[in-house]
Amino acid sequence: MSDREHARSPIETALEYCVYAPLGFGLEARSLLPRFVDRGRNQIVLARVIGKYAIRKGSEAAEGLLGPAGAPAMSLLRGLGLLPPEPSPPPPGTGGTAASTTPVTPAGPNGERRAVGEPTVPVGAPAPAGRPSPPFPAETLAIPDYESLSASQVLPRLEGLTAEELEAVRTYESATRGRKTILNRIAQLQSG
């Protein structure tokens, strides 16, 4: 502590905390509140992503450990809403694709339709070799419409992200497209 802090009287200290601090906050609130709101929103999005990922991985691990003997327990947990619903088998005669209640975009230039957020890879096409499936949906990232953005559009948006959001983008990008420019920029931002 400095000599000035030791020399302050209790009245000066009370004046600083009861008058000056609230006044300073009131003057800065206009610029601080939007940042607090954005940060809070981003934390909730990240918590949801991590929670969904943990539930999915945990349920997969539990099903693997319990095997057929754990089916009643797993169905009870699904009934209580603690686990995601079990995917329904495809209806007969649909060629192996299940009917979807996912919203569909308007027809594209070639007349094709796809679900909102669905990649443009044709149904039934094999996944790209050497790349695992994404660990969580792109919609949960802090950058809206991430999948539709080019690397040059993503780069400026990275600077406003928290460390957790950067890590989520890095994880997603590594698991999907692996664009070096994005991954290198994230590495630079994470290193300081």
What integer is the mean pLDDT of 90-110? 48
pLDDT at 123: 40
What integer is the mean pLDDT of 83-102? 55
Neighbouring-strand partners of residue 48: none
Confidence of residue 124 (pLDDT cuts 50, 70, 90): very low
CA distance 51 to 152: 30
Whether this prediction's pTM lies above 0.85 is answered by no
CA distance 143 to 188: 18
pLDDT of 115 strictly over 80: no
Closest CA relative to residue 123, chosen from 134, 137, 112: 112
Query: Which of 33-37, 65-69, 88-92, 106-110 shows the lowest mean pLDDT across its residues?
Result: 106-110
State the alpha helices, DSSP H only, in 67-93. 71-79
Q: Are 61 and 83 in contact (CB under 8 A)?
A: no
What integer is the mean pLDDT of 132-141? 78
Neighbour-count burial of 168, counting CB atoms closer than 10 A to its CB (0-12 exposed, 13-18 middle, 19+ buried): buried
